[in-house]
Amino acid sequence: MIVGEAPGRKETELGRPFVGRAGAFFTAFFEKAFKKHRQELYITNVVKVWPRINTLRGRTRPPTKEEEAFFLPYLKREIEAVRPKVVVTVGRTAFNALSPGSEFRPGEWVKRPFDFSIMPVYHPAYILRNQHRFEELTGDMKKALVKVKRRLRD
């Protein structure tokens, strides 16, 4: 299971998570690592609506704590229905929703009092914005996904 922050403009237009520039970058990365198509993955977001700044085109803003708290029960029901062995949290917002109070350390396992493990990774938008660290950050992502593959085999 993959959990992101919230849909953006493109995700809202198409009604599917992770289809914008950053999401497509991440799912391509994931598909290559796991040799699976995105249709074989359960992908969702903490916040289910676009946190939008009302400008002419609309801009994305970080979700508020109130928005996260409102949608958290829905995410928990999704997790109960999917029953994942591993949840990959994409970015700090998704991580904090499932593991509040824990330190965000991408690539390191977090075991919470759940029946699943959490693997935090950097948000792909963060990776794409930090081109001067692109190789390092994508290397970290690859290492994290190798750990996920191993955990899923166990």
- Per-residue model confidence as pLDDT tens digits over 91-103: 999 999 999 989 9
Q: Which residue has the tokens 């950097």?
A: 122
DSSP-assigned letter for residue 20:
S
- Whole-number Å distance between alpha carbons of 43 and 16: 9
- Whole-number Å distance between alpha carbons of 60 and 111: 31
Phi-psi region of 73 (alpha: psi -120 to 50; beta: other; left: phi over 0): alpha
Query: Which positions ≥6 away from 119 have C-beta within 8 Å?
Result: 86, 87, 88, 89, 107, 109, 110, 144, 147, 148, 151
Whether the per-residue pLDDT at 113 is higher than 80: the answer is: no
Whether the per-residue pLDDT at 134 is higher than 80: the answer is: yes
pLDDT at 29: 87
Instruction: Name the CATH topology of 2-153.
Output: Uracil-DNA Glycosylase, subunit E (3.40.470)
Instruction: Give the type of residue at 138.
Output: T
Whether the per-residue pLDDT at 128 is higher than 90: the answer is: yes
